[in-house]
Amino acid sequence: MPLVRVTMLKGKSSEYIKQLSQSIYEALVEAYLMPENDMFQIIEQLEPGTLIYDRRFGIDGERSDDFILINIESDARRRDEKKAFVARLVEKLSVLPGLSPDDVFVRLSANTVMEDWSFGGGKVASDIEYPAG
C-alpha cells in the first residue's frame, strides 16, 4: 500500500503527469509486488527556485530541470525487491514520459505494521480483507 509523492518543477502538462503517474503505478505493480488498484499518489509542482538539488551528486551524468523526487512510503520490502523496483521504475519513466534516468531521485520509506495505515471507514489496514491478486 504505497503512498507516492512526486515533487517536480511547475510547468508539466496534464498528459505528462498522467504518463508519469501511470509509469510509477505500473512499476509498483510489476516489481514492488503492489496489489492492482492500490493507487494513492500526490503530484506536486513547485515554482522555479523552490526545488533545490545538486546537478551531479551521486550520478555520472547531470540532472536537468525535468528532475523529479519520488517519495514512496509503504510496508517493508527486501533489498532485492527494492533494487528491482528502482530499475523497473527508471526504465518505465524513460519511455513515458521520457525522463532521463539521471533525473529520477527515489526515496523508499517503510512502515513496520499495517496499523500505520487506514484507507478510510475508520478501519486500520490490518482489519481489511484484500482481494487475491
Residue 30: phi, psi to the nearest 5?
A: -75, -40
Nine-digit cell at 31?
Answer: 516489481
Regarding pTM above 0.85, the answer is yes
CA pair distance 37, 92, nearest whole angstrom: 18
Residue 123 has pLDDT above 80, yes or no: yes
Cis previous bond, 97, omega within 30? yes
Angle made by CA atoms 32, 112, 131, in degrees to the nearest 5: 50
DSSP 130: P
32-55 pLDDT, tens digit each: 989 999 999 999 999 999 999 999
Percent above pLDDT 70 for the chain: 97
Residues 26, 32: Cα–Cα separation, whole Å: 9
